[in-house]
Amino acid sequence: MAGSTKGWLALGLVLGVLVTMVGVSTWAGPVRPAEVRVGIVTFLSGAAAAPFGIPARNAAEVIISELNAGRVPAPYNTPGIGGVPIRPVIIDEAGGAEKQVAEFRRLVLDERVDLVIGYISSADCLAVAPVAEELRALLVMFDCGTNQIFEERSYRYVFRTHGHQILDNVGAARYILRIRPQVATIAGINQNYAWGQDSWNTFRESMRKLKPEVRVLAEQFPRLFAGEYSAELSALLAARPDVIHTSFWGGDLESFLIQGLPRRIYERSTLVLTTGDTVLPRLGQQIPPGVVIGARGPHGALAPNVPLNRWFREVYTNRFNVRPVYPSYHMSQALFGVKHAYEKALAANRGTWPTKEQVAAALRGATFDTPSGTIRMALGNGHQAVEGVAYGITSRFNTATKEMELTQVFHFPAECVNPPEGMKSEEWIARGFPGARCP
Amino acid sequence: MNARGGGLGVLLVVALVMAGLVLPRWLVFLLALALAKGVAVLSVVVLMRAGLVSFGQGLFFASAAYAAGFAMRWWGVREALLLVPWSVAVAVGLGALAGLLVARYRDIFFAMLTLALSMVLYGVLIKAYGVTGGSDGIRIPTPTLLGLQLSGDDARLLVYYLAVAATAAAAWAVGRYAAAPAGYLAHAVRDNEVRVAYLGAPVSRIVYAAFLLSSGLAGLGGALTALNVGHVDPGLAYWTTSGELVFIAVLGGTGTVLGPLAGAVVYELIRSYAFKYAPYAWQMLVGAAMLLIILFLPGGLWSPVERVWRRQQA
């Protein structure tokens, strides 16, 4: 009897030690992984692949391989993320919101990615964000434009490391009034879907607030991927507005510009291309002088001259023989934001690998350096980034860069073109930009 | 569409219920999506039985999905058992109107008219930005079941079981329809419409009834998709969605009820694995799989099963 009691005691002791060990290891948080798996979702096929998806994918490839090799300038000169290499899992954004919701679930639950960076289409962002929250999976949206996401709901695991469409169009309105203060009439040609409708509304309302006597002469919404704009061009030529605003992108933008050339639309009106940066390297000399070019923030030709940007342009151009455009910059912002957050959480954790929640807490409200300058996660409870925006106007062809040079470049700081925290964009514009601080 | 199909159906329902508990969660989600699509494919098959190919089932698919979205947004209805019948009713209502026009046409004219109507809905959804959210679509919050508010995995599982139950009901209904006089007459209309008319059967009513059933099934598929995905966008009404349904019908085989459902599951799986293993060439993989099936199983994926049954009966 005594022997068996001793046996039980010994067993109890062993069990107790085991339980304590398991308890300690769980308490110490997740172990340092062999790699950080990052799901990357961007258009690899379809109309948005060439102008956006592939430049973003290229940026992800080159930045991740440089990061893993530890060749990025400070403050990102440590290899990988805290010494752990990054492994991208790249998938196509095609197939619609329904397919993307299924693919997001697969990335998180089957591929076991640590986070997902993705989504160019606003519909995909809107559909996937609640799923990320449901699965408690980190999601960093890198390129979609809608301002709805953080203005309608609050999230814990969802972030966006670039500014939304408001800054493009408020910035465009402010820029026009700076270089053409006498502007009296405006017109818009935008694709008939949410992006085009939002962009034009924001631009028109901003112009009306900034200069109430401005008249709108034409509002055109050809369908997405129409590709043929002779009727619209005729109407715009007849209306003779001082300024024509367009948020066209990709093939539509190129078609519109090329079809407008022989009809000299740019001589009668000042064209404002909010996504114009993407066509500068593609169309070269075909873009006439006097066209206002935006890049959805300080990206591409309008990016600041900082060491990170010089490095980024160089490694990207060496690898792909073309310079990075704004979707590439958006991708860089997401990747550097993630690295910054992980390493901040790692430091706060005294070297123990952080949980998703700790990474999310570190990214919330963070400020970090990117090739586009310093990004602040200032809106949506620290989940939505603000950026400044820059615009310039084409002047002459530069034979060295094979691009039109931009002059009269003007940078509007983030406080000038973004609503303050807690205010919806629409309301901010309707109330005449309260709290905006512009130079 | 026979007793053996019924027995197998019961087995499959049991297997699907088990699958919900055993399979990884992403696969359960995919399965729910495939079942919803499978129900919509049944709607194509019902019309094919009457010799009609519809390239516009997206009209009912999307209108039911949006009906669920609006009921949630405007009236705050979250009950799945109210949302699904309501969405199906909207789709059938639309089908009753559209059917007055399109049920008079056959062949390519029927296909083009249905395609046109679904593209009209697509245009409206894109352009009525203030109401429908345009291309951004609208969010569908997690539904409740009998007032029970679930979240996370439980909610997913609930929607999955709802899809299983609805699919089983739809399969049973289509099986009954196919075995009923209306179903046989639809088949006869395909073979020789004039002869059916001379026999004294009301051809226009038979076709109209098939069209109504078909719109209800497509609507059921749309409602399930909306509740499962949690977001609806105008892409649901686009012709590629309708085309995909026809495509899956051909893939699965149009002779049985289970064929289209199996086709939908296989299609979703092929597409998902193609996304995973060939992110740059997934379209080619899906296309190649289709070609192989058409070459080697011209009767659809289900045709070997049918052949075995027939041999056993003989």
**Model ipTM value:** 0.86
Residues of A in contact with B158 (CB under 8 A): none
* Inter-chain residue contact A106 with B282, CB threshold 8 Å: no
* Inter-chain residue contact B235 with A96, CB threshold 8 Å: yes
Residues of A in contact with B268 (CB under 8 A): 102
* Inter-chain residue contact B230 with A130, CB threshold 8 Å: yes
Q: How many CB pairs under 8 A join A and B?
A: 103
In a domain, residue B154? The reply is yes
* Inter-chain residue contact B129 with A194, CB threshold 8 Å: yes
pLDDT at A2: 46
* Inter-chain residue contact B26 with A110, CB threshold 8 Å: yes
pLDDT band of B204, cuts 50, 70, 90: confident
Nearest residue of chain A to residue B280 (CA atoms): A44
Residue B4 forms contact with A (CB below 8 Å): no
Q: Find tokens 């209904």 and name the residue.
A: B173
In a domain, residue B174? The reply is yes
Query: In this structure, are strands B231-232 and B138-139 parallel, antiparallel, or unpaired?
Result: antiparallel
Residue B50 forms contact with A (CB below 8 Å): no
Residue A292 in contact with residue A271, Cβ under 8 Å? yes
In a domain, residue B20? The reply is yes
Digit-coded pLDDT (tens) for B162-194: 999 999 999 999 988 988 888 888 888 888 888
In a domain, residue B153? The reply is yes
- Our CA-based measurement puts residue B169 at a distance from the nearest CA of chain A, in whole angstroms, of 24
Domains observed in chain A: 36-163+304-386 (3.40.50.2300), 166-295+388-430 (3.40.50.2300)
CA A40 and chain centroid, separation: 13
Residues of A in contact with B276 (CB under 8 A): 91, 106, 110-111
Residue B311 forms contact with A (CB below 8 Å): no
Burial B128-148 (b: 16+ CB within 10 A, else e): ebeebbbbbbbbbebbbbeee
- Our CA-based measurement puts residue A60 at a distance from the nearest CA of chain B, in whole angstroms, of 15
Nearest residue of chain A to residue B240 (CA atoms): A95
Digit-coded pLDDT (tens) for B239-281: 988 999 998 998 888 878 888 888 899 898 988 888 888 888 8
Residue B130 forms contact with A (CB below 8 Å): no
pLDDT at A23: 45
* Inter-chain residue contact B280 with A193, CB threshold 8 Å: no
Beta bridge partners of A398: A403
* Inter-chain residue contact B235 with A98, CB threshold 8 Å: yes
Residue B137 forms contact with A (CB below 8 Å): yes
Which residue among A91, A109, A148 sits closest to B24, beta carbon to beta carbon? A109
Residues 299-328 of A with CB under 8 A from B: none
- CA angle A422/A425/A431 to nearest 5° reads 95
Mutate to test the interface with B, among A37, A101, A105 (most CBs of B within 10 A): A105
Residues 144-183 of A with CB under 8 A from B: 146, 148
Listed in sequence order, the residues at least 6 apart from B162 whose beta carbon sits closer than 8 Å to its beta carbon are B80, B84, B145, B224, B227
Nearest residue of chain A to residue B134 (CA atoms): A194
* Inter-chain residue contact A123 with B235, CB threshold 8 Å: yes
In a domain, residue B187? The reply is yes
Domain interval for residue B104: 3-237
Residue B235 forms contact with A (CB below 8 Å): yes
* Inter-chain residue contact A126 with B139, CB threshold 8 Å: yes
Residues of A in contact with B275 (CB under 8 A): 91-92, 95, 99, 103, 106
> Measured between alpha carbons, how far is A383 from A30 in angstroms, rounded to an integer?
24
How many domains would you assign to chain B? Answer: 1
- Our CA-based measurement puts residue B277 at a distance from the nearest CA of chain A, in whole angstroms, of 9
Q: What is the DSSP letter of A226?
A: -
Which residue among A110, A148, A224 sits closest to B136, beta carbon to beta carbon? A148
Digit-coded pLDDT (tens) for B30-85: 999 999 999 999 999 999 988 899 999 999 999 999 999 999 888 888 888 889 99
| The pair of three-digit structure tokens given for residue A311, joined into one six-digit string | 């490095």
Query: Taking chain A (439 residues) in consecutive chunks of 10 residues, what is each chunk's mean pLDDT?
Result: 54 53 49 91 90 93 94 91 93 90 92 93 90 93 87 90 90 94 94 90 94 94 89 92 94 92 90 93 90 93 93 95 93 95 92 92 94 92 92 92 92 92 90 89
Look at residue B17 and tell me whether its pLDDT is greater than 50: yes
In a domain, residue B103? The reply is yes
Residues of B in contact with A194 (CB under 8 A): 129, 133-136
* Inter-chain residue contact B282 with A98, CB threshold 8 Å: no
pLDDT at A389: 93
Look at residue B13 and tell me whether its pLDDT is greater than 70: yes
Digit-coded pLDDT (tens) for B115-148: 999 999 998 998 888 888 888 888 888 888 887 7
**DSSP H or E run through A190:** none
Which 3-state string (H, E, C) describes chain B?
A: CCHHHHHHHHHHHHHHHHHHHHCCHHHHHHHHHHHHHHHHHHHHHHHHHCCCCCCCCHHHHHHHHHHHHHHHHHHCCCEHHHHHHHHHHHHHHHHHHHHHHHCCCCHHHHHHHHHHHHHHHHHHHHHCHHHHCHHHCEECCCCEECCEECCHHHHHHHHHHHHHHHHHHHHHHHHHHHHCHHHHHHHHHHHCHHHHHHCCCCHHHHHHHHHHHHHHHHHHHHHHHHHHHCEECHHHHCHHHHHHHHHHHHHHCCCCCHHHHHHHHHHHHHHHHHHHHCCCCHHHHHHHHHHHHHHHCCCCCCHHHHHHHHHHHC
In a domain, residue B205? The reply is yes
pLDDT at B25: 86
Query: In this structure, are strands A215-220 and A185-189 parallel, antiparallel, or unpaired?
Result: parallel
Between residues A258 and B2, which one has the greater pLDDT?
Answer: A258
Look at residue B219 and tell me whether its pLDDT is greater than 90: yes
pLDDT at A25: 46
Mutate to test the interface with A, among B66, B135, B277 (most CBs of A within 10 A): B135
In a domain, residue B264? The reply is no
Which residue among B137, B155, B279 sits closest to A97, beta carbon to beta carbon? B137
Which residue among A101, A122, A197 sits closest to B229, beta carbon to beta carbon? A101
> Measured between alpha carbons, how far is B189 from A335 in angstroms, rounded to an integer?
61
- Our CA-based measurement puts residue B167 at a distance from the nearest CA of chain A, in whole angstroms, of 19
Phi, psi at B143, each rounded to 5°: -75, 165
